[in-house]
Amino acid sequence: MPQIFRHSTNYLARATIFGAIFILLAALWVAAEITRSGWNTGAYIERQQPIQFSHKHHVGDDGIDCRYCHTTVETSASAGIPATAVCMNCHKQIWADSPYLEPVRASFKTGKPLQWIRVHDLPDFAYFNHSIHVAKGVGCSTCHGRVDQMPVVSQTNSLQMEWCLECHRAPEKFVRPREKVFDMEWRQRNSSKQEIEEGQKLVKEYRIQVGGKNGTGVMTSCSTCHR
C-alpha cells in the first residue's frame, strides 16, 4: 500500500504541536493589545469640533484657567460645557468679525447651543463625579493630559477600568496639593520616592479611604462607581 502522507508531513506534525502553543499565545497577546489600543479605546484620536477651537491657544497662550469655562468642575459631577455667552464675553470684543467664529455668533443670536463633540465618554454604567476628584487633589492633567498643548483635544488615556483602578488602588502615586490641581505644568504622576511620600501625606490629609486588603475600602468598592 502506498504511503498516504509524504515524509515531510512528519515535520509539519511536529511544527503544529509547538505552533499550537505559540499561535495561541500570540493570538491572545494580539487580542490584549488590540483591546488596549487607541483603535478600541479612542485614545490619541483627535476629534474635530464644529468650531476650530484650540485649547492650546486659550489655555497655553492666553493662560485662561480651566474653571473659566468648565465652571461646575468643583461643585458637580459634570465639569460643564460653557454656554455660548461665555465665549461671547471676549469674542464680542476680540475677533468679533472673524469668519471662524460665525457659528458662535449664530448660536448666540438664535440661542441654539453649539453641538460640541464629546471626547471623554465614560460608559453609562460607571458613575463619575468631577467635584470629588478635584476636591481630593486629582489634577486635570492627570486624566486629561496636557490640554494646554492640544490644538485639537484627544483622550490621552484608555478610560478602561484598569486605568481608573491604577489610581483608586494607589492614590499616593497621583494626588497633588489642592492649589496645583489646575496647574497644567505640575507632574501628572508621582514617581520618585520623595514624590510618593508627599503623595502619602496628602492621601492622609485628604482622608482618602483606600481601604484594606480585600477591597473593603470605599475607593475600590464595586458600588462606588457601579451604583
Partner 1 sequence: MDEKRDDLHSSVHATHPVVGTELTFGSVTDKISAIVLKRKTPIGWFIGFAVSFALFQLMMLAIVKLVFVGIGEWGVNIPIGWGMDILNFVWWIGIGHAGTLISAILLLLRQKWRTSINRFAEAMTLFAVAQAGLYPIMHLGRPWLAYWLFPYPNTMGIWPQFRSPLMWDVFAVSTYATVSALFWFVGLIPDFATLRDRANSKPFRVIYGMLAMGWRGSARHWHRYETAYLLLAGLATPLVLSVHTIVSFDFAVGIIPGWHATIFPPYFVAGAIYAGFAMVLLLTIPLRKIYGLQSFITMRHMNNMAKVMLATGLIVFYGYLIEAFFGWYSGNQYERFMIWNRMHGPYGHYYWALIFCNGLTPQLLWFKKIRANLMWLWLISVVVSIGMWLERFVIVVTSLHRDFLPSSWGMYKPSQWDWAMYIGTIGFFFALLFLFIRFLPMISIFEMRTILPEAEVEE
Out of 4, 48, 65, 111, which residue is the one contacting partner 1 (CB under 8 A)? Answer: 4
The DSSP line for 46-86 is ----SS---HIIIIIIT---HHHHSTTTTTSSS--PPPHHH
Is 126 a binding residue for partner 1 by CB under 8 A? The answer is no
Q: Residue 84's closest CA among 99, 101, 97?
A: 101
CB nearer to partner 1: pick between 2 and 63 = 2
Is 160 a binding residue for partner 1 by CB under 8 A? The answer is yes
Residue 35: CB minimum distance to partner 1, A: 6
Out of 26, 96, 161, 218, which residue is the one contacting partner 1 (CB under 8 A)? Answer: 161
SS3 155: strand
89, containing H or E segment: helix 84-91
Q: What is the dihedral of CA 164, 170, 173, 176, to 10 degrees?
A: 80
* Contact stretch for partner 1 (CB under 8 A) within 80-88, 95-103, 109-117, 156-164: 156-164
Out of 131, 154, 156, 158, which residue is the one contacting partner 1 (CB under 8 A)? Answer: 158
Q: How far apart are CA 212 and CA 196, in angstroms?
A: 19
- Span 21-80, contacts to partner 1 by CB under 8 A: 28, 32, 35-36
CB nearer to partner 1: pick between 22 and 116 = 22
> 176 near 135, Cβ under 8 Å?
no
Q: Which residues bind partner 1 (CB under 8 A)?
A: 1, 4-5, 9-10, 13, 28, 32, 35-36, 158, 160-166
